[in-house]
């Protein structure tokens, strides 16, 4: 009897539990082996139908079933386990669609598929563990596009442009040597613009055109026509990176859909998921034709559930929110709370801006300026980025790196992790009116990302000597490298969370293309032969990252610690100098001095008196020391960083 009761409990609880929790999940197999469909669609819909197909391309449905409204959801139960079948929903006779929460899809994502998700787990998946990263500031993020990274034969990788490339020992060895501990993958959910039935065309896209938010993209799998394959290969990728102690951050794009009228949101519940202007037209805060309405209860629930699903099903460790400034702060806080239930160290960050005006009160949006009101959520610091290399709006304008004075205060702000610091005069900082971060873990520090020019192209476009036809190529490449290393020294010695674009460590360029979102592989691909051509660059990046990881003084987790231990030193134009002091109990180095000099000649900086070990100088870095220096004056060569410790 006891056993019977227990069995009954086992079989009924999951069913009862799920039926009541109002999950947006649209298909499930009951304990009795039947298939339930449900859909969030208008209560006054004339008809809501599900069609079941035997194959991805079958013209005729095996079954067409009308759903009935019950407890606010349209639902039906079909006899038998339909795992392995395809299905679509149709509301009021509109075009068929995959629903909003498909977990597996046919090639090109227009039909959903009922997968046995457990059958997609690679061997050992149950034992897969999230790598331990104690504090947000302990991450070193590497932003990667699958094709950029592995499509060129010079990569030596077998699975060019595929999830599986990141399972290959050579790829893992490269990332491990570089020392990054989080790979941020550009959109890897199912997006619309690549025809998955014609992969031989080698079309390229970043993937900011969402189709199915909860399914991996087919073109990154070895077989997009077999729905389980992309799911399994995505998991294999996560598993391989986790085994190498590298976390996986997913770029999520809930702020807009590829198109509006043909989106799954519109086709299931017209109007509901999007924001509209007063005249009823679609608001376009994304610059892509629409913007979603995170404040709508079901859109909010959709985002929370989706993020939770990626954490649970795919073991994702962090999320980068595209145009986070389109979402409302309340939704972002709920997402943070949901992530905390799984693991409080899951990273959440985003772009604290929108691309156009949103049809929602500005003061409620998750903009960078109010990041401090969203604990545990970080925003990209364009303040630091632009102070280093120049503004987004004009590729040819330079800043600190080009030897232009007036950007020092913004760089100091970045070095402090965009928190309030007694020595940073916020009125002289480029964009922020007040410090946007309450804690250093709320600021992403970077000088380049996939957007606009990569660092090499930007330096070439904005620093006059690098485009001067009268300068010798040798001079230009050396100057380029000097400035590149100086830029990343600023990023890696800043408080906050450092972030680099994949390939910067091999001096990548994009042939000067500003927006390469659909440029061919020839523009976007990394040339791995650069590792041999510019070994100095890779060695320096490795050294910088190793230094940051070995020395907690560069990644203080608390704002008060930053204010206590970070002190800026007096310096002239185009020099930023600081020391990290009183580090007993925090770091094996008692004191650290960092000087960034972007002048075209050497500069003297006053440092505390006495002997110092030189860790970095003139484009070289060695944690055991390159030599010694004696205060109170340090001479820092032109366009270089110096790091001293004792």
Q: Least distance from C-beta 327 to Ca ion, angstroms?
A: 23
Smallest gap from Cβ 357 to Ca ion, in A, equals 30
Smallest distance from Ca ion to CB 383, Å:
35
- Which residue numbers are catalytic? 322, 351
Q: Minimal distance in Å, beta carbon 211 to Ca ion?
A: 6
- Residue 355 CB, nearest approach to Ca ion (Å): 22
Q: How far is the CB of 223 from Ca ion (least distance, A)?
A: 13
Upstream peptide bond of 632 is cis (omega within 30 degrees of 0): yes
Residue of this chain nearest to Ca ion (CB atom): 190
- Of 218 and 619, the one with the shorter C-beta distance to Ca ion is 218
Would you tell me how many other CB atoms lie within 10 Å of the CB of residue 160?
19
Biggest CA–CA distance in the chain, Å, is: 92
Residue 397: count of CB within 10 angstroms of its CB:
16
Q: How many degrees, rounded to 5, is the angle at CA 343 between CA 337 and CA 344?
A: 60
Closest distance of CB 332 from Ca ion, Å? 27
53-80 burial, b for 16+ CB within 10 Å, e for fewer?
A: beebeeeebeeebebeeeeebbbbebee
Distance CA 102, CA 113 (A): 7
Q: How many residues bind Ca ion (CB under 5 A)?
A: 2
The answer to whether the Cα torsion of 318, 323, 327, 329 is positive or negative is positive
Partners of 379 in the beta sheet? 350, 443
Q: Which stretch binds Ca ion (CB under 5 A): 153-161, 189-197, 261-269, 416-424?
A: 189-197
Q: For residues 114 and 84, is the Cβ–Cβ distance under 8 A?
A: yes
- CA-based nearest residue to 247, from 257, 237, 256: 237
190 is a site residue for Ca ion (CB under 5 A)? yes
Q: Compare residues 218 and 325 and give the one whose CB is closer to Ca ion.
A: 218
Q: Which has the closest alpha carbon to 193: 203, 183, 179?
A: 203
CB-nearer residue toward Ca ion: 212 or 617: 212
- Contact in structure between 147 and 136 (CB atoms under 8 Å): no
Residue 209 near Ca ion by CB under 5 A: no
Q: Is 474 exposed, middle or buried (0-12, 13-18, 19+ CB in 10 A)?
A: exposed
Closest distance to Ca ion from the beta carbon of 213 (Å) = 12
Closer of 163 and 540 to Ca ion (Cβ): 163
- Which residue number, 310 or 538, has a Cβ lying nearer to Ca ion? 310
Q: Which is nearer to Ca ion, 264 or 640 (CB)?
A: 264
For residue 258, which of 297, 221, 217 has the smallest C-alpha distance?
A: 217
Q: Do the beta carbons of residue 646 and residue 611 sit within 8 Å?
A: yes
Distance CA 436, CA 440 (A): 10
Binding characters for Ca ion, 104-143, by CB under 5 A (x = yes): ----------------------------------------
Cβ distance to Ca ion smaller for residue 199 or 481: 199
Q: How far is the CB of 109 from Ca ion (least distance, A)?
A: 5
Nearer to Ca ion, 96 or 338 (CB): 96
Supply the minimum distance, in Å, between the C-beta of residue 268 and Ca ion.
Answer: 19
Residue 623 CA to residue 643 CA, distance in Å, equals 10
Tally of CB atoms within 10 A around 173: 11
Q: Which stretch binds Ca ion (CB under 5 A): 183-191, 312-320, 327-335, 610-618?
A: 183-191
| Binding range to Ca ion, per CB under 5 A, among 60-68, 182-190, 328-336, 411-419 | 182-190
**For the chain, what is the radius of gyration of the CA atoms?**
26
Site for Ca ion in 350-369 (CB under 5 A): none
Q: Closer CB to Ca ion, residue 168 or residue 190?
A: 190
Rounded Cα distance between 130 and 344, Å, is 12
Report which DSSP code applies to 279.
T
Distances (CA, A) of 392 to 387, 396, 398: 11, 10, 10
C-alpha distances (whole Å) from 456 to each of 60, 166, 180, 219, 642 are 54, 25, 20, 29, 21
Residues 585-604 that bind Ca ion (CB under 5 A): none
- Rounded CA-CA distance 225/631 in Å is 66
Which of the ranges 188-196, 197-205, 314-322, 509-517 carries the binding residues for Ca ion, by CB under 5 A? 188-196
List binders of Ca ion among 211-250 (CB under 5 A).
Answer: 218
**Quick one: which segment of 57-65, 79-87, 190-198, 532-540 binds Ca ion (CB under 5 A)?**
190-198
CB of 82 to Ca ion, least distance (A): 23
CB nearer to Ca ion: give 190 or 484: 190
Give dist(CA 6, CA 276) in Å, integer: 51
CA–CA dist 316, 385 (Å, integer): 27
Which of the ranges 187-195, 230-238, 265-273, 629-637 carries the binding residues for Ca ion, by CB under 5 A?
Answer: 187-195
Q: b/e string for 197-227 if b means 16 or more Cβ within 10 A? A: eebeeeebbbbbbbbbbbbbbbbbbeebebb
Q: Tokens 């009862």 correspond to what residue? A: 16
Q: Which is nearer to Ca ion, 218 or 441 (CB)?
A: 218
Q: What is the dihedral of CA 325, 326, 329, 334, to 10 degrees?
A: -120
Stretch that binds Ca ion, among 210-218, 260-268, 277-285, 341-349 (CB under 5 A): 210-218
Only one of the segments 121-129, 136-144, 186-194, 616-624 lies at the binding site for Ca ion (rule: CB under 5 A); that segment is: 186-194
Name the residues that contact Ca ion, by CB under 5 A. Answer: 190, 218
């Amino acid at each position: 009897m006891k056993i019977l009761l227990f069995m009954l409990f086992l079989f009924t609880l999951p069913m009862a539990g799920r039926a009541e929790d109002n999950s947006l999940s649209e298909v499930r197999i009951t304990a009795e082996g039947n298939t339930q469909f449900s859909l969030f669609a208008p209560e006054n819909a004339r008809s809501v139908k599900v069609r079941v197909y035997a194959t991805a391309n079958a013209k005729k449905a095996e079954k067409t079933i009308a759903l009935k409204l019950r407890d606010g959801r349209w639902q039906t139960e079909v006899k038998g386990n339909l795992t392995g079948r395809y299905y679509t929903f149709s509301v009021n006779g509109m075009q068929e669609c995959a629903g909003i929460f498909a977990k597996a899809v046919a090639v090109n994502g227009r039909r959903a598929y009922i997968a046995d998700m457990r059958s997609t787990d690679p061997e050992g998946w149950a034992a897969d563990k999230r790598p331990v990263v104690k504090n947000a500031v302990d991450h070193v993020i590497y932003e990667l596009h699958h094709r950029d990274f592995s499509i060129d034969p010079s990569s030596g990788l077998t699975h060019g442009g595929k999830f599986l490339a990141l399972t290959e020992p050579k790829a893992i060895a490269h990332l491990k040597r570089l020392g990054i501990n989080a790979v941020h993958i550009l959109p890897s959910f199912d997006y619309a613009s690549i025809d998955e039935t014609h992969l031989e065309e080698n079309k390229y896209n970043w993937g900011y055109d969402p189709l199915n938010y909860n399914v991996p993209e087919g073109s990154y799998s070895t077989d997009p026509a077999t729905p389980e394959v992309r799911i399994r290969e995505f998991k294999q990728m996560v598993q391989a990176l986790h085994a190498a102690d590298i976390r996986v951050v997913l770029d999520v794009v809930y702020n807009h859909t590829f198109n509006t009228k043909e989106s799954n949101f519109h086709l299931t519940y017209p109007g509901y998921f999007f924001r509209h202007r007063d005249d009823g037209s679609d608001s376009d805060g994304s610059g892509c034709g629409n913007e979603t309405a995170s404040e709508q209860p079901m859109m909010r629930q959709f985002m929370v559930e989706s993020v939770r699903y990626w954490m649970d099903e795919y073991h994702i460790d962090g999320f980068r929110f595209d145009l986070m400034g389109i979402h409302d702060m309340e939704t972002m806080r709920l997402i943070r709370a949901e992530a905390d239930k799984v693991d409080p160290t899951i990273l959440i960050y985003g772009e604290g801006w929108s691309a156009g005006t949103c049809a929602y009160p500005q003061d409620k949006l998750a903009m960078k300026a109010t990041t401090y009101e969203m604990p545990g959520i970080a925003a990209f610091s364009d303040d630091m980025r632009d102070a280093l290399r120049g503004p987004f709006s004009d590729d040819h304008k330079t800043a600190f790196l080009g030897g232009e004075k007036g950007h020092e205060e913004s760089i100091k702000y970045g070095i402090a992790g965009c928190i309030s610091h007694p020595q940073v005069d916020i009125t002289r900082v480029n964009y922020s009116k007040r410090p946007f971060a309450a804690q250093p873990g709320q600021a992403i520090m970077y000088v380049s990302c996939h957007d606009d020019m990569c660092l090499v192209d930007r330096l070439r476009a904005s620093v006059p000597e690098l485009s001067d036809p009268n300068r010798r190529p040798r001079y230009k490449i050396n100057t380029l490298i000097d400035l590149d290393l100086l830029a990343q020294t600023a990023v890696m010695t800043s408080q906050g969370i450092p972030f680099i674009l994949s390939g910067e460590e091999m001096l990548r360029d994009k042939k000067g293309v500003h927006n390469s979102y659909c440029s061919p592989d020839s523009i976007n691909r990394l040339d791995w032969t650069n590792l041999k051509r510019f070994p100095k660059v890779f060695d320096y990046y490795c050294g910088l990252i190793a230094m940051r990881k070995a020395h907690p003084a560069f990644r203080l987790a608390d704002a008060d610690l930053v204010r206590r231990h970070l002190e800026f030193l007096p310096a002239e134009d185009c020099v930023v100098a600081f020391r990290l002091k009183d580090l007993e109990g925090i770091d094996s180095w008692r004191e650290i001095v960092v000087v960034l000099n972007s002048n075209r000649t050497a500069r003297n900086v006053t440092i505390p008196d006495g002997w110092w070990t030189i860790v970095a100088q003139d484009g070289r870095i060695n944690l055991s020391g390159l030599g010694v220096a004696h205060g109170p004056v340090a001479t820092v060569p032109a366009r270089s960083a110096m790091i001293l410790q004792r």
